[in-house]
Amino acid sequence: MSSELPARPTTRVVPKPRRVRFEMPTGTKRQHFVDGDLVMSHFVSTLSATFPEGEDFFIRSVRHFRDQISDPDLKAAVKGFIAQEATHRHQHSLLNQRLQEMGYPTEGIDRHIAKLLNRLEPRFSPEMNLAVTAALEHYTATFAEIILTSEEAQALIGDTEVRPILLWHAVEESEHKAVAFDVFQAIGGSERTRVRGMRFATVLLFLELVLQTTRSMAGDRAAYNPVRLVRSLRAFRHNPLFSPAAIQRFRSYTRPGFHPDDWDSAEILDRWTKELFDADGAQRVESNV
């Protein structure tokens, strides 16, 4: 991924809710479904486990300010954002049920995230919750666009049943990556609060991902094979999701005047929406999505 910022697009992407249905993993025993890799499989499972409650938090944070928005295009984008996030919540809940049956502790992680948000959300102002949402959307959009552009990331997710879910989710994260940010700007959110939201989101996200992935791996007998564990940890260090270019993109959020569309995703969206969906937003059967 190039570290150069292309020119910002001049038109707003309006997120489109889509009719989707996925085949869930069929294995009843533990499967390291991400290219057979121990750590990456637990990491992706953990990430999926955080989505249902996380997406609900995003929806609440944006919806709180919906009546304060006067721009009709942004109103339409908010409507699409909420619809997409609600579908993400549902689909990842279904996926998490299957991952739980495969031996991943998704139910416990989901309950933990719910309790964590119940404690933290009331402590912050609605503006700060929105700032945290916009920052976390920057992370998910970065992960998404790496998955959609990196051949190495494509190879990692392989051809299992999880691949179509990740590709669909990645496309929609890219589509609505600027919505929470634009709402934050529309309500007059300050740069100071925006940056504070990013710093808090960074600590919370990576602390929870490390802790919950470790928790997940602790219940996997394969994690106690030192050779396999060390080999998998070494591979994870070179994961494209955490490459120097990805880290530079994460950090770009705190640059003065930053906007998510500084990272232009028009070509990415054009390619993948044509590959995965029909013109009316329905899934292409031949893509197995």
pLDDT for 3: 43
Task: List the one residue out of 169, 218, 171, 197 whose CA is nearest residue 51.
Answer: 169
**Helix (H), strand (E) at residue 92:** helix 72-101
Q: Which amino acid is at 139?
A: Y
The pTM is what?
0.90
DSSP per-residue string spanning 168-218: HHHHHHHHTTTHHHHHHHHTT--HHHHHHHHHHHHHHHHHHHHHHHHHHHH
Q: Which amino acid is at 50?
A: T
Backbone phi and psi for residue 283, each to the nearest 5 degrees, phi listed first: -70, 145
Q: Name 69's Cβ contacts closer than 8 Å, sequence gap at least 6.
A: 75, 78, 183, 186
pLDDT for 282: 56
Whether the Cβ atoms of residue 181 and residue 137 lie closer than 8 Å to each other: yes
Whether the Cβ atoms of residue 104 and residue 162 lie closer than 8 Å to each other: no
pLDDT for 157: 77
> What is the rounded CA–CA span in Å between residue 67 and residue 69?
6
Averages of pLDDT over runs of 10 residues in the chain (289 residues) are: 48 80 68 87 96 97 96 95 96 94 95 98 98 98 94 81 88 96 97 97 97 97 96 91 93 95 90 78 46
Please tell me the total number of residues recorded for the chain in this structure: 289
The single residue listed with the structure tokens 């919505």 is 179
pLDDT for 158: 73
Taken in order 133, 62, 89, 85, is the CA torsion positive or negative?
A: negative
Crossing angle of helices 126-149 and 191-218, in 10° steps, is 60
pLDDT for 1: 45
Beta strands in 85-127 (DSSP E): none
